[in-house]
Structure 1
Amino acid sequence: MEIVIGILSFIATAAKYAISPIKNHIKYLSNNENQVQTLKNQAESLKDARERVQHSVDAAKRNGEEIEHDVDNWLTKVDKKIAEEVEKVMQDEEKAKKKCFIGLCPNLWTRCKLNMKAEEEAKAVAELLEQAKFDRVSFRAAPHGIIAASVKGFEEFESRTLVLNGIMEALKDASINLIGVHGVGGIGKTTLVKEVARQVKEGKLFDSVVVATVTQTLDVKGIQDQIADLLGLRFEEQSMVGRALRLQERLKKEKKILVVLDDIWARLDLEEVGIPFGNEHEGCKILLTSRDLNILSRGMDTQKNFAVGLLNEEEAWDLFKKMAGDCVESCDLQATAIEVAKKCAGLPIAIATVARALRNKSLFEWKSALCELKRPSSRDFKGVTAGVYSAIELSYNYLESEEVKLTFLLCSFLGHNGLIEDLLKYIIGLGLFHGLHTIEEARNRVLTVIQDSHWR
């Protein structure tokens, strides 16, 4: 009796495992159209979801933002899923409609496999649809800062290379965190420290480098904004104290950072700006430029100062030739050109502006310019020598048209951080350019003037 019961139990168990797959296959056969239709519906929903995400991605890219890694991966997976797996099921559906036995019976095995595949793909598509609920698709990356192959205007003259190397050594000294660079206006301090910033970034001496222009009219908020932009920081705080604390907190996250503050005219309270240094952040070094050594050594307590001097006669002539072109080597022009170059007194800004203004001019224009440069200027500006003023005035007088002159003056008014859009507003509002009927026409004219001008 026990043997019989055992046999029956075995038969029942075998039947259970045999019947279950059969039931599943019958289910797949009976739900043939439902499974495939479900997949089709979900595939359409996935395509719609992909399109919505792509729209957000395109908008973010136009805004200069970086796309999140998981969003890129999701888009790739969706494209592959739709193009390969789902489309294959659709193609298999057509095959499953064909009959076997000379067209007399439905191809049951093909249909069964199709439904199994459709159900599997429907689950995969459902998972992708669930993953499409991104909180955000992009982020604003911090600007890369100064890492160009070269700094415009920097010339590797011996006098400049000696100062640059000295600054680089000071930056490597662990005991120094405040370094000053001083010299008269137009001597090339800004160009020099930008080259320093480029080299330390390229050589990975610091993890990050930020440069902010201070200017004569002190604007602490403006300095904070310049540094924050380069670090990808957005202020939510309204008070100056709150902004300073936020900036300080952000700077401390950089293990080694160089902060360049260019064109300081008076003592600047680093704590008020939000720049930590010394014991507060030993990895933060600050490089300052000013026309006045006293402001650096007494006002800012710099530990090491470097003077940027005039170009020697050979360096000045080499720069002048580069800016004016080969014409200065001609026999009839060379003597006058040398005299003009000497009148620029070794100041790079004077040399560059005068040489560019006289490029491709006739001999009589060179002689006229020399007379103007010999005539002492009656103007007196703090930090600007008479020679520099005469050179800039000469350059201005040689500008091609009134449009260019007006643009030059507006750029001077807007300062270091002036924007093209601001310049455009003034030009349109004041009616300085004639014959323009649309904003686009005005913008194109402004951009053309700036592009073609030798003072840009």
Structure 2
Amino acid sequence: MGSVSPSSLMDIFNLLKACCSPSCNYIMAYEGTFSSLASEVGQLKDKSSDVKRDVEAATRDGQTPRSEVLGWLSSVQDMEGEAESIERKYNQKIKCLCSFPLNVCSAYRLRNRAEAALATIRELKQSAEFTKLADNLNLTRSIKMPTTKTIGMEKVFEELLCHAKDDSLSVIGIHGMGGVGKTALLRRFNNDFPSETEADVVIFLELSIDYKLEEVQKSLFERLSLTWQDEVTHRDRATKLFRVLSTLKFILLFDNLWEPLNYQVVGIPLPAPPSKCKIIFTTRTEDTCSHMGTEKMIKMECLEEEAAWNLFRNSARMDVIDADKNILIKARDLVKECGGLPAALIVLAQAMAPKKTWEEWIHALTIMKDTPHQLPGMTNNVFSILKLSYDRLSSDNLRVCASYGALFKKGSWIGKSNIRNLWIGEGIIDNADNIGDSTRKTQFLLGILHAASLIERVHDNYFRIHPMTRAMILWVQRECGKKENKWLVPDRDRVEEAPAAEKWRDAERIALVWNQIRDLPEAPQCPNMIFLNLHVNKFLRKIPNGFFLHMPHLKILDLQETSIEELPVSIGNLMQLHFLELSRTRITSLPKEMAALVNLKYLSLESMKYLRTIPDRLISGLRELQWLNMVDSYSGWREGGVSFEELESLKRLKVIGITVSTLAALQNLCDSPRLAAVTHWLHIEGCQDLTMFNIPSTDFHAETMLRLIRIQLHAMSELEEVVIGNRQPILLPLQEFRLSSLPKAKLVWRATFPNALRELKIEDCGAIDRLIKLEGEANGGGETVITIFPDLHTMVLRRLPELKSLSDGERILNFPSLKTIKVEDCPKLMKLTLVADGLKEIECERSWWEQLNWGDERSKSFEHLYNPMYID
């Protein structure tokens, strides 16, 4: 056999290499494919781990992973297995020279498989950006709640519904007194909230009065189907709640919030408008609304009369009402006693459902007026609910303040100044340096009671207490009905007889106001009595001599607007008396025994027009006196009578109202630094030589009266001009200015100066033909609008026969703060020529209103403000 030369072998090798070159190149890139596969698989595993962790967290939070996410994770798992299989087979290949695999065909197949896996993995990576990993499909969107009737609440329900659909509002607070229907409204909202809205879940939680953080979190965990673990901290639970709720469009309904809820501590994400998420809550306290970041507050009021009647009739079907007209009348009267409070109406209807006779309805009305707690269900379902607001007040002093509302007539308006004075006597307001301080503290306390839904404002200076709240307080003060005589406050109209003497023995407080009582017990035994109010009993002309003998602890005595002509000497036995109100009585002389009232802090002798004699050294004996009001009363400050020196000796005196009738007395008052500094009300009458009076005035050193808030000029026949603003740089805190019975006087404005006047009252001034004559800086040509009283709130004009205009010729007066004008017997006033954009009412006689010139454009702008005359 012949040999093969080396050159021939090389030729053969080159030929084979040339033939296999494309395949060899393909196989040479083999390792790069597997390297890329390993890298891509690693990145996919990292992404898969992140998604798995989030899905597991969502699953723990009660959410359901979305199908696309689970499918993706399954595909990832499959591709991880495929990649491992390819890598294993790749590593098993036996390589030879130049890294060629021995089995070329199998190498082709393995690389093709790797490239297919690599493409799939890259697709999985690209599709891993999920908008949502899990759904709450296992949550119940809302759970229906049992609720009571919401008759008469349609308007407020529509308001709530409207606000709930407003994406610009996220936190809505509903506030109102207990029993007004807040829970019923919120439950109706929970049940009827439209299903077409985008909310994922509506959660209703009714909180206990002193709820704990754990209680709120646990309720939310249960509603969201989250796993509760006792060992987990509040903070971790809050984090979990926050994470879950942040993924939802939620509506959270919190009923009966007594204290503000801290969203962050609980774990509630505060929705940022615009948002479909809402937090809606009910509370009795307006302060809670403020502290909860409320964007819209809804005040729930008691029902109007017809709505109250409909709720009563629908709460217990009573055919007897329609069958007997007499019963129908009594039923209407019964409903009025509830004051439109839904809780009381429902209880009353249920109690009266079985009553079939007129006599039963008559008796029920008597009970409702006198002792409503005796009606079935009233204590548990009305009084106990209202009592919660009373009990939650932060101090005993506040509860005393609230209780004072029950000492006034049912439904009456209670003046802020009236309650202020009584609180001074009670000691709630003490050591106030001036009227401003005491009034501000009164307003602050009233604000707390109003925010707690225990009183309601009806006017700037008046409030009232709901009849059921009042009945609840009386029930509480009578030890839940066990001691009916502890607070003797008859609710009958025009009571003619005082309670029998034996009832006074157990009494702590007696209020017999606005009645027709003529006689009082001779010497009642009242060992515990601290409060006695006989205000406005105009038929009471005499107090028995021994009446005050057995009242050792009496602190407050109000005899205002009775017709008594003298005080019995037994008044000196009231050693603990702090408050004595004698205004508008017919007393002519104060008894010297009053000097024994060494603890008296407040004494009012206002408008005691018959008072002529005050015994020497009586006033100086009242060493604790802080407040003395003698406006429109005693004016005999002269030698031989009580002197200013006695007033100066009262070291604790902080407020006086005083009347002077001579220029000498006025001068002496202004010259006394001690008295001038505490004078708040100044009444000047008589002064026959006075022809001009300036405000402010250096003539009488008025610059020393830096707390003067009211001046009244009365019955001065020669006074021709009352000048305001005489270019003196004196700023008085004057708030009220009154002119009365000044036949020649005219009011003149002479130069601009700062003032805080809020009330202007002009009566019986026959010469006034225009409201005020403008002089000096206020003068000018052509029609101009001038503001001289920027803070004037009320204007009263009575019996001004020559008054023709409220401005001065072409100079129109602007009153930017004016709210009320009262006009009586001003026959020549035919136009309302003034600017008052904030005016709310014109109180006047109908006949005058109808004869006004409504063709005048300025007058026409006020034609909707008529209010029938109310006599002060």
The TM-score normalised by the length of structure 2 is: 0.27
The TM-score normalised by the length of structure 1 is: 0.49
| Structure whose residues are more often helix by fraction | 1
